[in-house]
Amino acid sequence: MANHDECLAKTSSRCITETFTGTHDFEVTSYSLLEGLGVGKFVGSSTFSVGGYDWQIRFYPDGDREANEGAYTSVFLFSTERSVKVKFTLNLFAREGSISVLSAAKPYTFESAGLTYGYTKFVEKSRLLQLNDFTIRCNLTVIKEPRTHDVSVVVVPPSNLHDHFASMLKCGKGADVKFSVGGQVFDAHACVLAARSPVFMAELFGHMKESTAPCIQVDDMEPLIFEALLSFIYTDTMPDNLYVGANMPGLLDAADRYGMDRLKAMCEQKLYSSISVQTVAAALALAEQHHCVALKDACLRFLSSRDVRRAVKATRGFKNLETSCPSVVMEFFDMPAPLP
């Protein structure tokens, strides 16, 4: 018997609501000359089109109704269309900026031709008499009828490029270059290494090319660190079992040595996050050696306290710092005043 779930077809549809937005500015000059036009009488803007429909701003200098006693002006949006849904605002601007910003746009439906929507109490006449010249701006969005159509379901899987490269590194198929590191041999693909590292590019294809060497010797590096370097080159990530504090000095050195800026920044961040009394001296030495500005700044901020510097001087890391970077010790630990 067939599995019921396997017989279910997956379909999809989508509802789309199109909108069209436009802005029209209606400039009014010499308002004082319009006062006295009469309640219920308006001056209109030119007709403008938004969303395929025609619109007009109607401004009532003495208001649109007697109930306001002529104290307020009125403004409305007029349409000759029917069955049109919109959102709009009517704002008033003076030359020096907005003086009346009305509430957020609300939806209205012009169900029949000749309807108007707007504001009976727009702005007090007394305020407009002081301005005399101003602009009424209509921001209008026409909302079309929603429509639904079928959508074919295409599930796009996430990128697994890094998995393919990791598999290629692991199986060694197509490898064309060998490295000897601490007695261990690593197979790799020259084009991948060159694409990721300017140093490998020069070493494998440039003036540093070792054309006759069957296996390139890598000195002063642990096999585990070189393995981690290759893993990063192929996948742009670092395995959790290799991305640990004990490996950071070696990884930072490898990243700096082969021009791997992203890996260098990752190592710098890892060292930054683990700064303590016990680790700051070693971190400062690494920062100085590999020109890690952010890491060095973080170490110096940590050492800004005289008590912290005193505690750091008692650690093994400080003893190593005295040997590897005596100038740093003289500059930052032997100063009588606290660090800035």
Residue 240, pLDDT above cutoff 80: no
Average pLDDT of the chain?
86
More confident residue, 173 or 70: 173
CA dist., res. 217 & res. 303, Å (int): 40
pLDDT for position 335: 53
pTM of the predicted protein model: 0.54
**CATH code for the structural domain at 17-147:** 2.60.210.10
pLDDT for position 340: 45
pLDDT for position 208: 64
Mean pLDDT is lowest, of 104-108, 216-220, 311-315, for: 104-108
Residue 337, pLDDT above cutoff 50: no
Mean pLDDT is lowest, of 27-41, 45-59, 211-225, for: 211-225
Digit-coded pLDDT (tens) for 81-105 = 888 999 999 988 876 655 665 666 7
The domain segmentation of the chain, as residue ranges, is: 17-147, 160-245
More confident residue, 5 or 326: 326
| Domain covering 160-245, topology | Potassium Channel Kv1.1; Chain A (3.30.710)
pLDDT for position 151: 76
pLDDT for position 206: 84
Residue 336, pLDDT above cutoff 60: no
Digit-coded pLDDT (tens) for 106-133 = 888 998 888 899 988 888 888 888 888 8
Let me know if 204 is exposed, middle or buried by CB neighbors in 10 A (0-12, 13-18, 19+).
buried
Residue 265, pLDDT above cutoff 90: yes
